[in-house]
Homo-oligomer: A and B are copies of this chain.
Amino acid sequence: MRDAPGTGTAADSGERAADSGERATGTLSDEDVRALDAHWRAANYLAAGQIYLLDNPLLREPLTPEHIKPRLLGHWGTSPGLNLVYTHLNRVIVERDLDAMCIWGPGHGGPAVVAGSWLEGSYSEIYPDVAQDEPGMARLFKQFSFPGGVPSHVAPETPGSIHEGGELGYSLAHAYGAAFDNPDLVVACVVGDGEAETGPLATSWHSNKFVDPAHDGAVLPILHLNGYKIANPTVLARLPEEELDALLRGYGHDPVYVTGDDPEAVHRALADAMDRSLDRIAAVQRAARDGSATAPPARQPWPMIVLRTPKGWTGPREVDGKPVEGTWRAHQVPLAATRENPEHLRQLDRWLRSYRPEELFDERGAPREQVLRWVPKGPRRLGANPHANGGQLTRSLPLPPLTEYAVPVERPGTELREPTKVLGKLLERIMADTAESRNFRLVGPDETASNRLQAVYEASGKNWQDKLLDTDEDLDRHGRVLEILSEHTCQGWLEGYLLTGRHGLFSCYEAFVHIVDSMVNQHIKWLKVTGDLNWRRPIPSLNYLLSSHVWRQDHNGFSHQDPGFVDHVLNKYPPAVRVYLPPDTNTLLSVTDHALRSRDYVNVIVAGKQPTFDWLDMDQAIAHCARGAGVWDWAGTERGSASPDVVLACAGDVPTQEVLAAAALLREHLPDLAVRVVNVVDIARLLPSGEHPHGMTDAEYDALFTADRPVIFAYHGYPWLIHRLAYRRTGHAHLHVRGYKEQGTTTTPFDMVVMNDLDRFRLVMDVIDRVPGLAVRATALRQEMQDARQRHHDYIRQRGTDMPEVADWKWPYE
């Protein structure tokens, strides 16, 4: 059919390709090949049509400039390869009645996957105006990369997708996330050779070390080496063959190579590769599941396919005298001047007609029978598999009554507990209660125990498929706790798990969760877009527990101190974002319970693991968390005043402690000062009601914070965040915020708050400075506070610990 490719790779890899091809001959009949090729040509035609055509979708007339879109956008290069995979996945799904989905990693594969969905009918079921007929095809073409239409990459709008193709690097992690606890599911995952250069992708190959073949489904990676990213060759495509092979075997895979640019040979080889891979997957799973093994078998290499075909295959060979097919020039729109340049228009016409659309589509514009021969039916179609619209399959978590895990709090501020340790008991219960349903996972970068959640291991260990030693503890072949030192992989796994309708929690050091800033962006964008798609069902929320936070990284120092993830997340689509700063154990239980019940949010919970005062009993905690912010009457000294002299506000466990200690000092030294103490759990409450679903009205805000009294606000993170949230409030000019201002080091807990002016003594000084008249009245107290700070500083630098006065402080009951 076509001769040697422009990429020059045929010679290097010919041997493997031939080898692969040889075995394939038995798999497909000639008729099969023709049918598969017809489907592939149809998909290629539709992909090219989406990029170029505004009208004349079936080429019933000769192409004219008016048929061409005014802005030519989109990416042809990756499309023929993705189409080929779609075509061949269809075949194995039908042949094996396979429950399969596919993650399409390469960036701008939109036209391909949309084409596949349209051909199988799932697209028109969801979008009836894009029917399987000529007007529907015209709409299909026009909407692509058109205002109000669909993006050039695989997106939430794309049926069958759980993976945005915009940013790169997360496909494999998403695929594994989808496969965990879905024992009958096969998740194919096309990894682009561009994407393969990213860090997150490079490490997510190791995900196969966390697949339990007894309880998890399988991932079938298909590394598509089309040779180029945007304007450069890719690293993997230019590796010597033996180096690439070593790399993939080193990743724990047994690769099958499919190389070529002769469609018939590639069809046969790819069909064979898929059959071999799926047979192998079935064998591994059988061995793990049939109960015949006396001990769990050692981890086996999983199959994968390396598909090496030209970039922009079947597109223009040359444009303006320069090679295009098989080079980086095929990345986007190979013929860029089709409206202006008659030669480009002629080339486009020839190119599109090379697919012989009249053989592929009938008079009405619907795909012909031969095209559809290997297309699956109903929910087996890649665009209709319910796993890819996971909310359809979501079952609510069995959550126990919180009272069973509540800690007793008779007098606030007298007993210390490690909040996350208590939460660990709740998670243990959830883990135990989902032992059968297996729809809950805890992920983290080896910080589960460090964050004090280790009780969970009582119910489910840490998943581990490799060698076990006598000294190991809590490792488990079937464990649902996933720990790998890659925040990217944790996030990607969890996203894939949630998007397929299950639940989870990501426990992470606060500072290092910034590693996934860009991933959470994309997830929130996904949630925003799916919110407008009524066919997408709500999915369980993405829940973060950020512990080991800025104030208690005193021993790890400055590099571990960063509270900015909250700022990052609060920049994003407000309806999808929730941030909680529970001040103690019971409030942590309450917000976590709420987060685990919610759908379609990103919930960020910031909570310490160090001993922390309990302030609220369970009933109070539930009420307080439901309000999101409230006055702690018992801590204030308003005593029925019409309005307080000053409001001490706090958000976060350490700021709450310092504010309460400041309130106690004021109570002692300035007993007639009317102090109100306000605690904020749900930080978005500070936003105006029009800006966030949880935002307070101005009346609510003023009732809590007053419109005209000084507010000293001790906040867990960067102080200006509070201003950014509250700048529209009437009382904003009276708002004075203390928080973390990048003053960090290795020191003691109290020194950290002193360094950042968040300590109790400084807060009392702030009150004296801001309440009219106090500066004169309380000069001596102010000096005393100043001296106390210095005394502590000196003590700390000399002894290395906090003074007992601070370390042993409790709320002063008389």
Contact = CB atoms under 8 A, between A and B. Distances in A.
A796 interface: yes
A226 to B, nearest CB: 14
B198 A203 contact: yes
A373 interface: no
A447 interface: yes
A533 interface: no
Interface in A691-727: 718, 720-721, 723-724, 727
A720 B688 CA distance: 13
Given A243-B250, A248-B250, A466-B238, A148 B797 contact: yes
A71 B801 contact: yes
Nearest to A466: B238
B252 A250 contact: no
Given A467-B238, A727-B727, A71 B166 contact: no
B197 A200 contact: no
A44 interface: no
Given A233-B475, A469-B8, A567-B567, A73 B199 contact: no
A732 B167 CA distance: 37
Interface stretch (A149-157, A586-594, A648-656): A149-157
Contacts of A149: 746
A557 interface: yes
A446 B228 CA distance: 10
A669 interface: no
Contacts of A486: 197-199, 202
A599 to B, nearest CB: 20
A403 B475 CA distance: 66
Contacts of A147: 745-748, 751, 796-797, 800
A4 interface: no
A556 B751 contact: no
A167 B559 contact: yes
Contacts of A194: 446, 485
Given A449-B231, A462-B232, A466-B238, A518 B525 contact: no
Nearest to A54: B800
A6 to B, nearest CB: 6
B153 A557 contact: yes
A517 interface: yes
Contact of A723 (B54, B199, B724): B724
Interface stretch (A125-133, A433-441, A568-576, A764-772): A568-576
A483 B232 contact: yes
A351 interface: no
Given A70-B799, A512-B518, A559-B167, A206 B199 contact: no
Contacts of A477: none
A623 interface: no
Contacts of A514: 517-518, 521
Contacts of A751: 147
A723 B718 contact: no
Contacts of A148: 745, 747, 797
Contacts of A8: 469-470
Given A147-B800, A149-B746, A247-B246, A484 B235 contact: yes
Contacts of A488: 198-199
Interface string A300-333: 0000000000000000000000010011000000
A204 interface: yes
Q: Which of A147, A164, A249, A742 has the most CB of B within 10 A?
A: A147
Contacts of A796: 147
Interface in A428-458: 446-450
A230 B509 CA distance: 13
Nearest to A166: B559
A244 interface: yes
A326 B525 CA distance: 45
A139 interface: no
Nearest to A718: B571
Interface string A232-265: 1111001110011111111110000000000000
Given A247-B247, A724-B720, A522 B559 contact: yes
A489 B151 CA distance: 28
A682 interface: no
Nearest to A147: B747
Contact of A145 (B464, B723, B746): B746
Contact of A69 (B229, B557, B800): B800
A206 B235 contact: yes
Nearest to A210: B235
A155 B446 contact: no
B512 A515 contact: no
Given A197-B486, A512-B167, A742 B528 contact: yes
Nearest to A249: B246
Contacts of A6: 471
A168 interface: yes
A84 to B, nearest CB: 22
Contacts of A475: 232-233
A658 interface: no
A567 B721 CA distance: 11
A216 interface: no
A632 interface: no
13 contacts: A152-B557, A198-B485, A198-B487, A199-B489, A209-B235, A231-B446, A233-B472, A239-B252, A239-B466, A247-B249, A323-B471, A517-B568, A572-B742
Given A240-B467, A529-B558, 6 more contacts: A197-B485, A198-B199, A199-B202, A199-B203, A528-B742, A564-B568
